[in-house]
Structure formats: structure tokens, C-alpha cells
Homo-oligomer: A and B are copies of this chain.
Amino acid sequence: MDHPDGETVKRRRTSNRASVTIRDVARHAGVSVATVSRALRGSDLVHPATRERVDAAIEALRFTPSQLGRSLAERRHAANGIVFPDLSGPFYAEVVLGYEEVAARLGRSVLILSTHNRESADEMVLDLAGRVDGLAVFGRTVHDVVVAEIVERGVPVVLMARTEVRGADSVRTENVSAAQSVVEHLVTHGHRRMAFLGDPVDSTDVAERWAGFRAAVDRAGLPAPDQPVTAGFKEDDGARAAVDLRAGGLPDVVVCANDELALGLMEALEDHGVRVPDDVAVTGWDDVMAARYAGLTTVRQPMRDMGARAARMLDARISGDSSEPRHDVLTTQLVVRRSCGLHPKEAHR
């Protein structure tokens, strides 16, 4: 009975919660693991009767195949990653939403990572890259060399709202002509002294918006400021900027790099008795939900679409597409509301 072969002795080293494995199923069904595996994958090289026994065993043992074992054998994770600077704010959530939706439909799980501009960001992203089949990276979350390193490892990368990196696809939204639309619209209100709020160093997007703004102001024959009024991305930053702007003499209009900034600015100005748009006009960027209720004129970006598109590009690469990198640019749209000023004909109604 207790013949000295390994079988009787073999025992799990770590037998915590002893999960059911494919071997248990094989034994229970009286077949080999190869057959169970085939049955699992729906191969048609399994005799119906055999399949039935296997199915019964799976059912009886409540077996679930281990993703880990499967992934290791198949050499694929069936998972994609997405990296953000910060998940807060109404803005990024939309991108993730679009990304997750498409990825899920394509049968891939989604790993998210928010870098919070931590020092360890590069390291964390590299680690993440080791857990996925493809990676979407938003903005200036990691250094170019890290992106390059990941690409070189053979993990497809798609960049979102970020300057291109050799070997990686990218998706971004149009900024320059949008800035021009904003300026042109402001000109119709009769505004002449225009300021720009935001830090071009923070992101490619802001840099492009500032450049587009300057060029458009120039082209309109108006005095363009040499420098933007630098600020971060949050409502608080906007509120702080209100102080500087009032100290420096208010312009006719402040074009802000994003909505949160614009909203914080508007609120702070009004708290100080400065009326928007009567005394100063303000515009934002992104068209977050709050913008509508605050009556903020802004530029709408198709964030959800950006995420969805990134997921699709990644899927193509993972599926073996090795054509030249693509660089998509999504169009944006000016959304006019109260904050940019009343048109003369409306002024008195």
C-alpha cells in the first residue's frame, strides 16, 4: 500500500488554502493534465465523453485555472497598464474610463499607477512594465530614458499628452489652433490686454497652449505678454494667482491652462469684488463638469476618446502590428459661456 514511490510522499511545501490545480482535476477525471488543459481551452481534440468527465471534475472540485500559471506558460499577461501623474481632478478619470472600457472589451485587465511625482516614479513604472503586455503613459510622469528602456524591452508604449519618444505611439489633443480660437473669440469681445496663466514647463500641453496663445495675440496685432503668469494646476494655484494679477494691474482677460486654475481664479477674484466677466474675463481648458455650472468659457478635449484610442493602439501593437509609430492628434472645441465676456449687444439686456 505504501510503496516507496514519490507520489505518496509528495506534499505541498506551503499548503495554505491548498488551491485546486489542474493536476487535481486530471486525477479526479482520470485523464492527463494535457487533456484537462485542452478541455479548458476548448480544443476540439478532446472526445466529447472525455470532455464531459473533465467538466464534471472541474465542477466538483470548483477548479479555477491560475492566471499566473497560464500567463507564465503563454508568456503574456493579458493585462495593460496606464500611468498618470495624479488621478485627482475630474480630468484624468475620463481618460482612464475610456481606456479601461476598451481594454476590458479586448479581454485585458488594466493596471493603474499614479506617480504623484514621487521620486520613485521611474522605478515604479519599470516595475509596472514588467507586469503588462503594453503600457499607456500620460504626460510627464516618467523620464524619456525610462520610456525608451521599456520600449527596448519589447513592451509597447503609447504616450498620451506628451512629446513623442522614438518607438512609441502617441495620442494628444490639438492645442495651438485651439488657443488661436480662444484668442480670436476674445478679440470679438473687444478684449485687448491678454494674460496667460499656467506653467509651460509643467507639460507639453501647457507649452503648446502658451505658444499658440502668444502667436494668436501677435497675429491679432495686440500686445502679447513676454511671459505667462506661472501657476500649477489646482484651484488653489488659481486663487494664489489672483493676488499677483491684481497687484500687477488687471488685464482684460486671463487665459488659463486648465479649468481648475480658472475656477480658482474666478472665485478668488469675485471674493475680492472683481467681477467676471465685467472687470476681467477668464477662460479655461478641459471643460470639466464644474465649468458648466460656473459658466466658464473653455476648450473641450475628448478625454475619454483619448483613453480609448490609446487602448486600441496598444492592442494593435501587442497583436503584432509593427508599422511605423502613429501619432494621433485629437481635435478640440471651443465652448463659449459667460466668463469670457458679454458681447456688446448683450451688455444691456
* Residue positions of A touching B, CB distance < 8 A: 14, 16-17, 19, 64-69, 71-72, 75, 77, 79, 86-90, 92-94, 96-97, 100-101, 104, 109-114, 116, 124, 126-128, 130-131, 153-154, 263, 267, 288-290, 292-294
Contact partners of A97 in chain B: CB under 8 A: 86-88, 114
Question: Is the CB–CB distance between A263 and B111 below 8 Å?
Answer: no
User: A110 and B109 in contact (CB under 8 A), knowing A17-B154, A19-B154?
Assistant: no
The oligomer's copy count stands at 2
Contact partners of A87 in chain B: CB under 8 A: 93, 96-97, 100
Question: Is the CB–CB distance between A153 and B64 below 8 Å?
Answer: yes
Chain B: minimal CB distance from A6 (Å): 20
Question: Is the CB–CB distance between A113 and B124 below 8 Å?
Answer: no
Question: Is the CB–CB distance between A93 and B104 below 8 Å?
Answer: no
User: CA–CA, A292 to B67, complex, Å?
Assistant: 45
Chain B: minimal CB distance from A40 (Å): 13
Chain B: minimal CB distance from A8 (Å): 24
Contact partners of A16 in chain B: CB under 8 A: 75, 154
User: CA–CA, A345 to B92, complex, Å?
Assistant: 43
Chain B: minimal CB distance from A286 (Å): 12
User: CA–CA, A92 to B112, complex, Å?
Assistant: 14
Question: Is the CB–CB distance between B114 and A111 below 8 Å?
Answer: no
Contact partners of A71 in chain B: CB under 8 A: 68
**Residue of chain B at shortest CB distance from A266:** B293
Contact partners of A113 in chain B: CB under 8 A: 100, 104, 109-110
Question: Is the CB–CB distance between B88 and A109 below 8 Å?
Answer: no
Chain B: minimal CB distance from A4 (Å): 28
Query: A130 is contacted by which of B67, B77, B94, B96 (Cβ under 8 Å)?
Result: B67
